[in-house]
Structure 1
């Protein structure tokens, strides 16, 4: 049934596509830069679509790594060419490929966002802006907002919201679905910390279009009624309208000196003089980065804890020691987080096996050479977790769940990259770490749980998603 739904969803794409390009198919050729004779081995696939459909179908089957490993074994273990999202693309492989792209930022490559992402999420007036320009502007607001001294103040808020969420959404039931509930928690937390929206109805109204937009971020960029991409673009417009209303209200409050005094991300940007469009674009980026992948990570952590009782027991012991050291109604703090060493090893091993994100794109700023191949200026590059995370060269018995891999010095550099690396490492890494650890602390000290569907299917759209939402049975722990 899933396959039929998928086929019907894309049938309209194919009919329109091939009617429109059938005449020009025989004139289709590589971009002028692709005529160079020393480009990486590989293929472009179909006109316009390239190999995007093959990648999407592999993701729908829950095996996005197969798309990568099939091509590394056929073409090159270092770098291969493909065409994704309508772009010539070089996929860099292994720890050396990761290191080259991470360290080559603003020397060989710069940030690049696919049009499917820009058109779905950004204000239309920004679509033609350079990704480097937009990324630089976005990151200029990250350091003060996400530096440790600021993050420490979020921990009690995260803790209180996790407690409230579990009491309301988990405790009354014998069975819950983890994935939709983890998304509900992480989105509500982002609403509170970024834009000070706390009303549950307002949060729910805001969350729905975000889910629709996320589903279409990495899709065939055909903006026709009924397509995933079209739905994402409509959802993006709804998000921007909602944000505009919030921004306008907050600006008026500041002008009339009626703001509550809360210095959230929105107020900070307004005081810095950004206009509505700039603020909207940046807040959307923060929400996607802080909410979607984090909820996925939480879901799979709970899945693996349910699957491995011995690991759950060690996490439980570590978290109970922390809980017993706290006074009644005393919230978690920065020092407590630093004690969660084994739990963080478990989190890392989960992200190695089920990474919340597949990788990231860059754009070649100039012609450059890697592994004996020329990457032409203008080509897009892609680094991916799938060439290292399950590679036996870096992780012996790669399919084995073993949190001890991350004890001591941990994996070799550039092999474990769920947050990227180098100057472009995800600046929200520490925020995500706190959010995850606080939530897991509250779950394991309150519940024992088991999977209802031990062999539940996983799809990647674009993050891994259990198709039934990871239902688990709950047993409340009596302390």
Structure 2
């Protein structure tokens, strides 16, 4: 019998000891890899299918793919979450795909360094105790929002209005901007960024990608101008160092006693504005959708919130202590987040390492997403079922519910999001009832989640 010449096995990495095996998986099509399959699953409303199909076929712990022209290892399950959160800046560092980095070129360096210069300050500003000063502001924004955008209307587009609410809130908390015309002026370019952020990266005039690039340049220029004027106002006593996050950044000194420049501040604020309204607007819209679909859940939230409202005088705002009474509402919100928020991110491998018997080579990218656990039936039985009781007692097992990431890159805005969402829920259910106009409307991903048709609803005010 002829001896067949053994072909070189491309699953082995040259840079690893003992020719260690690379993770199993597929590189997909030449050039495009598996990007179409990845995005296509989201467009159909089930982004987790891309992950779970490959976890079933190759490994439930780690598999290989190719996305955006990069070799990618996908870490899955609670073990993957724990490993990634524990090894930030040791084995991996944050990384932006080149298509996104082109929209935010000035932010690439600060992103890759983990925003370390501002991170400690931001954590202090957004920690639980410090957030108490923002409760009245969030309450005022929510009250005015429902008065002006919902009251007296028969039908509205809930998703679009959720975006205007969260963006206006971010402008006031971050920048102390209250002028509605200026907020509207800034909102348009941010919408262009959102639509082109992860669109097909064709950099030609009139494409969503080019509009996003131009919009980001415009926003950065505006934020630099706002920062320069704020610095003048602080020097003249027309603003206070603690009135908003922008002012805190301006007066912040690093370990060398140096103040940050306006360009650096603008980059940070731009990222915070995007993060402060995109994901939260999805959660607010999804809350409206699920509460319309699930009357028993709505009544549970309504009963809890009306008990809190009974203790308030007419027009009196919520206080920090009221939030601790919203236990059921927060369980509902977390279940909404579990079902709709595909927390995700990329890391770049800094040095070869072994994981679960496989080699992950230096230069590869590691893709992390909460969907590998949030919709895993082994971790959350009947994962598509809406069940707030999952969060009773000690809640889900560690590293299974991770919408805000973890480790060195735990989202510093976690408590801010909780506060804003609970205040939104309070005003929503105590003022209105509603129903979906499109009964079969679903949430799709592009790749961020949103109602497929904008969530038109028919609203009815509560009769007091």
**Do these two structures clear the TM 0.5 threshold for a shared fold by scoring above it?**
yes
Q: Which residue of 2 aligns with 1:208?
A: 188
Counterpart CA distance in 2 for 1:130 and 1:256 is: 30
Deviation at 1:439, TM superposition (A): 0.5
Q: Give SS of 1:141's match.
A: helix
Alpha-carbon distance in structure 2 between the residues aligned to 1:269 and 1:220: 34
The alpha-carbon distance between structure 1 residues 183 and 160, as it changes in their structure 2 partners (threshold 3 A), is same
Q: Is residue 169 of structure 2 the alignment partner of residue 189 of structure 1?
A: yes
Q: 1:343 to 1:407 in 2, by over 3 A?
A: same
Pairwise CA distance, 1:220:
4.2
Query: Which residue of 382, 387, 399 corresponds with 1:414?
Result: 399
Q: Distance in 1 between matches of 2:170 and 2:110?
A: 27
Q: Which residue number corresponds to residue 231 of structure 2?
A: 251
Match of 1:294 among 271, 280, 283: 280
Cα pair 1:353 1:399 within 8 Å, conserved: yes
Q: Please list, as runs of the form range in 1=range in 2, the aligned pairs for 1:293-332 lying within 5 A after superposition.
A: 293-332=279-318
**How far apart in 2 are the matches of 1:417 and 1:54?**
24
One of 339, 342, 345 as aligned partner of 1:353: 339
For the pair 1:165 / 2:145, whether they are aligned, the reply is yes
- Is residue 77 of structure 2 the alignment partner of residue 77 of structure 1? no
* Residue in 2 that maps onto 1:362: 347
> CA–CA distance in 2 between the matches of 1:37 and 1:319?
57
Indicate whether 1:106 and 2:92 are aligned.
no
Higher mean Cα deviation, 249-258 or 293-302? 249-258
For residues 323 and 110 of structure 2, what CA distance do their matches in structure 1 show?
38
CA RMSD of aligned residues (A): 2.2
Tell whether 2:34 aligns with 1:51.
yes
Q: Write the distance in 1 (CA, Å) between the matches of 2:12 and 2:198.
A: 23
SS of the residue corresponding to residue 59 of structure 2 reads coil
Per the TM alignment, residue 45 of structure 1 is displaced from its structure 2 partner at its CA by 2.7
Aligned length: 447
Contact 1:111–1:135 (CA under 8 A) maintained in structure 2: no
* Preserved contact between residue 12 and residue 22 of structure 2 (Cα < 8 Å): no
The Cα of 1:248 is off from its aligned counterpart by 2.2
Matched, 1:465 2:450: yes
Describe the shift of the 1:318–1:130 C-alpha distance in structure 2 as closer, same or farther (beyond 3 A): closer
Question: How far did 1:353 drift?
Answer: 1.5
| Structure 1 pair 228–69 and aligned structure 2 pair: CA distance change class (3 A) | farther
TM-score by length of 1: 0.88
Q: Is 1:269 the equivalent of 2:220?
A: no
Cα shift at 1:459: 2.3
Q: Unpaired runs of 5+ in structure 1?
A: 1-28
> For residues 111 and 264 of structure 1, do their structure 2 counterparts lie closer, same or farther at Cα, with a shift above 3 Å needed?
same
CA-to-aligned-CA distance 1:217-270 (integer Å, 9 cap, x gap): 334444233443222211111111221221222223234443366621111122
Partner residue, 1:141: 121
Structure 1 equivalent of residue 45 of structure 2: 62
CA contact (8 A) 1:91 1:382 kept: yes
Match of 1:424? 409
CA contact (8 A) 1:458 1:466 kept: yes
Q: Report the secondary structure of 1:62's partner residue.
A: coil
Give me the whole-angstrom Cα distance separating, in 2, the residues matched to 1:425 and 1:62: 27
Cα distance, 1:334–1:306 mapped onto 2, change above 3 Å: same
* Partner of residue 404 from structure 1, selected from 376, 389, 393: 389
Is the Cα contact below 8 Å between 2:73 and 2:366 reproduced in 1? yes
Q: In structure 2, the residue corresponding to 1:156 is in which secondary structure?
A: helix
Which of 358, 363, 371 is 1:386 aligned to? 371
Measure how far apart 1:432 and its partner are: 0.3
Which residue in the other structure is 2:220 paired with? 240
- How far off its partner does 1:469 sit? 1.2
Task: Give the superposition deviation at 1:30.
Answer: 11
Aligned to 1:132: 112
CA contact (8 A) 2:154 2:460 kept: yes
**Please, which moves more after superposition, 75-84 or 418-427?**
418-427
Q: What corresponds to 1:444 in structure 2?
A: 429
Q: Find the counterpart in structure 2 of residue 10 from structure 1.
A: none
What SS class does the counterpart of residue 454 from structure 2 fall into?
A: coil
State the alpha-carbon separation in 2 of the partners of residues 54 and 89 from structure 1.
Answer: 14
Moved more, 129-138 or 59-68: 129-138
- What TM-score does the superposition give when structure 2 sets the normalisation length? 0.91
Q: How far 1:449 moved relative to its partner?
A: 1.0
What SS class does the counterpart of residue 391 from structure 1 fall into? Answer: coil
C-alpha displacement of 1:86: 2.4
State yes or no: 1:116 paired with 2:102.
no
Q: Could you tell me how far 1:96 is from its partner in structure 2?
A: 1.1
Which residue does 1:14 correspond to in 2? none
